[in-house]
Each structure stands twice: as structure tokens, then as C-alpha cells.
Structure 1
């Protein structure tokens, strides 16, 4: 067993990191892990942290390995935002912690899982720590691409690029780690386009599979402006429902825990001013988290829409490549029969533009309506 067992499809990255653990000449104080969503950036970062702390360089079974991977090691700090950005106050706290010597391990490791979400001021605060590194402190930044991180940070970090793992490797991981049936694991890995987290969710959640089938069937049903507006509303409502269902219980538990920590009565109709201020701050964080979750849910649906248009284009031009949506080949064939290659490309561009607009804080419903109207025009002009 090894800490690298779950870092799948990344032989070059694992070789680089393994060498850094054992060879001081290959080690540096700051690393930048990049790779597309689902490539396993945070998994690789935690595995690297575990290998650095492990007396046997990453055995995967000792206390140091287990606690580093699950985020409870005293010298390993993991910063992952559930909001839209990482604030300067959060970064300053990390910089202060990075200045401490390791308490029980060989290194103090700071992992920033969403370095692309650092605000400008937060990035500036982090830059000072990278310019003047503390001995025995290692920074691991994670982001989708180099371009998502400001140049001053990436120029002071050693870059490790991760790639999308093969479908077979993701399916094997689901079988080996989660006990998923091999046929279901392969379906989920292909449908998720090798995104490990999404594949696991598809394999275990029938509701997620049903919602995905509804999304990929949507383009063929849009015939009128009314259909387009309704489809956009459906996509937005799916995100709102998932956000509400996943967050309500967690939000209530966080509120109760905060009141207990502050020594307040959770059943009281009114709270003292200082407690109301704390509750207000918590509610603001929860709202920001819900906004990000809803946007991420919409983005996953848009990726599914891209996949079905891509598959239809593959069939239309007769390309000899595998389909993402093998389980819904009838839907793909119907869409391919309805559209010319040019119309399929036009719809794919519309989906990509919707993703960009939502990422730039355009209201998701407006971006989705513009997209579905473009998709409708492709159907209407056939």
C-alpha cells in the first residue's frame, strides 16, 4: 500500500513528487499543482503531504500518512473555500501559521486547494510568504491551470501538471475503493468524463443519474422560444433544489453548533447583539457557499450538454472515437440527425459562452436562457 494508490493516471507527476520526498536537491518550498476538474489535484496534494511527513516516505498505513490524508495531522493545514473566493484575512492566517516550526512531523505543509479563488489582496499576502520562505515549510497550491494563478505566485512555485485520468483507471478506483459494481463503475467514469468525484456520485446516486439523463435529452426537445425558456428554468431549478437539499441540514447543524459554542440558548426567540452578529456572519458564509454550489451544479449540467453535442458531432462526421454517452446512444443519434455539424458547433459555442458568463457573475438564469435560445435556433433552422 502507498499514499499514491489513489492518485490515478498520473505517473509523471507521482515520479516527480516521489523524487522530491527522497532527494533534497529536488525539493522546494512552493509547489503548484494544476489539472482539469476531476484530475485529482487535492488528492495528489494530500498524498504528497503524507509522503513528506511519513518516516517511510509514504507507506500509506502509518499514523502520519492517515492523518495527513484525512486533514487531521497537526502539521498539515488544508485551506479549501466553499465560497466564491479566499479572502485576505484567511491568507494572513495561513502565512502566520506557515511561520511556525513543525510540531510533530518533518515539515509544516500548507495546502491551498483553490488557489485560483484567491482575491488580489489575498494573493499579495501569500506572495510575501513565498518570497521569504520559512525553513521546513512547504506550500502546495492547486488550480485548474497556470493562467488561473497570478504570475507572481506561479513564478515562485514549481509546477506539477496533472492530466485527466483514463476512464479505465477511474472505474478501477471506484471498484477497488468504493466497492462499486464494475459495469456501473465504467458507466459512471465515462459519463463523468473521468472526473473522479462526479463518477463516484453518479455510481452511488440514482437521482443524479436521472437528472443527467434529463439534461442530455434536453436539446432535442427545444422547438420554440417557450421550450427554450422552460429548459433554462429547469436547469436553474435543478441547481437550486440540489443546493437547498444538500445545505439545509448542514446549515442548521452549523447554527446550532455556533450557538452552543457561544453559550447561547438555541431555543431562544431573540439573541443578544454580539450573538446576532456572529449568526449574521455565519448566514452570510452559508449564502455564499450555496451560491457557489448552485453555480457548480449548473456548470456540471452544461458539461453534460457539451458532451451530448460532442457525441452527436462525432456521429455526424463519422469520427472513429468513443462516445461519452454510450448509454444514451439513441438520444445522441436523434440529435445528430436533427443538426448539421455547423449547428452542433454553434450550440457547443453557446454552452461554452454560458459557462463563461456564469463564471463572470452573470445571473445563471439569464445566461441559460441565452444559451437555450441559441440551441433552439439550431433546431429551427434545420
Structure 2
């Protein structure tokens, strides 16, 4: 594939900032059509579909941030000279063609594609049908920016395939695919993994946990829990499960206090049998599978655990491997928790809402990867490349 120089890529991105701003009214009008056609039954999905001036400003900011970042392609990772005279250089290289499959969020059309483009990959976008009007206008912005700078529109393509057509494309792609990034719920991820013929980088479910240890600062713990659950319910970094240590002093009063706080935010509480003894308005967990579920809603589960090991075991059994936090004043206990919990991000006395590229200093992100191969955590510009070995010799042969 053609390697674009940094100046050309940045010129395209500068054009994008101007074009998105100029087409603001057109973008909002297209999004209005999508919103009017969408049922509000799924509030989290509806929230992700909404585009307003603030989100458009966010798109422009994301493009500007990526434009200002260092080009990730062609950076030397390592260099060594062997005894046989060979010089071996390992450098970053583009993936090639990346297919991004996502649901609802039109801003992904900008914020994911800008990363892949700066990383010198060709981008195929498969958005959900619920955002079709918004996505078409945003891809038109891309095409205008590309052509304005002498590049083919083929660098970024929007697919409007139905489920059956998408399945067939995954099984028999009409062009070489190097990487697929599905951004959405578990059903979408499972669908892609079942049918894809190339590497799939999974942005897994959230279902994030907080463990309130017996020595936690209760006021701080409560503040962290409320923020993690209510700050943005549609975020994959939102909190869903709260594990309370059975040795927590004044456990009954503290759980009632937490319940009252949640009621102020209209959060529905589910609880295990022991927790129900301390809560006035919670419903009993009727199905063990609830522990696996990512809610993306004003809903949370409260459960009791007997110590750190039980908390870790429960998190590693049920969580999506995304984020988990421990609330404790004991730094050694926190260190043990953070080592043992199998998640992309582990926290001590902080909200899981910080699992975000911008918040973690990575910049704009394509996704939060819960995979362990290639990269785990926020998938930013630096992580959206692969590598290649350059071997220089003068006639060496292997014995």
C-alpha cells in the first residue's frame, strides 16, 4: 500500500476540521432523521446515537489532537547488528486495511477513522443502520478532505450492508482485510469472531466491578462508586457490580446510605440474598447470569464477599476483563488486588470511568481492547500499527 508522508496526512486532517465545522447544520439535520426513526426503547443506544454541537466539537477536537500527534509509522523499535554482519532493524508499519464495525455512535465515523488514517491504513466503516444518515454525511466530509488534498476517496469507505451481506463479506471479503475491530455489544463481537477470516481485535464488554474492602474510607468509596455508575451509563467503563466486604464496619448503615444515594440518581439495585438484609428497595438476583451482564443502564448489583481473594475470584469469573477498582486504605491490599485481577485497567481508590484514551493520556482511541494479543487497554494512535523487520546484508547465507 502507498505510504503517505506525515505532511499529506496532516493536511487532510486540517481540511477535516474545517469541513466538519462548515457542515455542522447538515450533520445535525441528518442525525435528526436518524433520531426520529429510532425507537427510544434502548436508552443507552439512543444516547450514543445523538449528535449535537458538543459532539461535533468533540469530533473536531479529536481530529485536531490526532493531527498534532507524532506519526506512528516508520518508527524504529529496535536495531542490532549480528556477529554474521547482518543489520536488523524493527520498525512500525501500517496494518493495511482495517474494517471497523460499530453500532449507533456516528462520532466513531470520525474518531476511529482519523486514527486509522493517520496510522496509514485504509479504512472500511460498517456503521449500524440506525445511524445511516449521520454516517453518510460524515463520510462525505472525509471524501471532500481527501480529494481536496489529491487523494482517492478509497482511503475511507462506508458500507451499508445488511446482516446477511456483512456475514458474507466477513467470510469472503472482496478485498484483503488485515484487521477487524468490532465496537459494540457481545452479540456483535461474537458474530464478527464467528465469521471473520482475519485478525479481530476485541473491544469487549464492560461489566466493571468495585470491591469495597473492610478498611475503605466510606465517604470516598461512595463518591467513587456513584461517579463510576452514573457519570455516563452508556460508557463501557461504567460500573455495574459492587462487592462489599462482610467485615466492613457498620455495614448495614453504609449499604442503606449507598442505596439512598443511588435512589437520588434513579439507579435500580439488584442484590444477593445477604445484601437484601440491609437494603429496603433492592430486588433479589434471580439468575446467576446477571453477574455476567453489562447493563448500560441505571442499574447496579450489590453483593457480599468474604475478603480479597473471594472478591478477586468473583471479578475474574464474571467481569468482561475491562476495568475493576478496589476501595481501600491499605496499599499492600490494593497492590495484591491489582496484580490478581485480570482486567485491562485496575484501579485503587478511583473511578473506572478513567479507562479512556483521553483520560489516560493516550489521546483519541479506536476502542478499549480487552484482548491480550497485540495490545490491551485504550487503542490509540501509537497502538494502531504493526511492525516489520528490515534485514540488511552483504551476501550472508545460513549454514
TM over 0.5, yes or no? no
Structure richer in helix, relative to its length: 1
TM-score (norm 1): 0.23
Structure richer in strand, relative to its length: 2
**Higher RCO (Cα < 8 Å, 6 or more apart):** 2
TM-score (norm 2): 0.22
